[in-house]
Amino acid sequence: MTMLPLDAALAEALDCALREDYASAKKALADRHEPPAVLLAVFIDREMERQSAIKAVRHEMGNALSIAQASLEAMLDGVVPITDPRLRRVREIIEAVGNSMHDMWKT
């Protein structure tokens, strides 16, 4: 199999990465040792790690908000009494999610 010229390989990798098809982007750069190809491959690896971390944080925040929502609904429906400790816990959950969102977007 003939290796694509560097500019074509970079263009293909970038096109795949823009479509978030990172496996194909990495494949387009396989066996390339030129500095631009190596740097792009490293960038793609980091982007994959970043997106995985964001997905995990988003999942954790969603879980926390679901717990807060269920707690509020239980109190409003009279299933559990409305107490200061329960309200404080809901506030803490919402505050933690807000802090997580702030931290996630400042990096």
pLDDT in tens, 43-101: 999 999 999 988 998 899 999 999 999 999 999 999 999 999 999 999 999 999 999 88
Domain count, the chain: 1
Query: Above 80 in pLDDT, residue 35?
Result: yes
| pTM of structure | 0.70
Contacts of 102 (CB under 8 A, 6+ apart): none
Residue type, 78: G
Alpha helices, H only, the chain: 6-18, 22-28, 35-76, 84-106
Q: Is residue 58 part of a domain?
A: yes
The pLDDT, as a whole number, for residue 107 is: 57
Closest CA to 105 of 42, 45, 57, 65: 57
Long-range contacts of 23-32 (CB under 8 A, 24+ apart): 28/4, 31/3, 32/3, 32/6
The pLDDT, as a whole number, for residue 1 is: 58
Closest CA to 44 of 67, 62, 60, 21: 21
The pLDDT, as a whole number, for residue 26 is: 95
User: Range of 57's domain?
Assistant: 6-106
Q: Is residue 1 part of a domain?
A: no
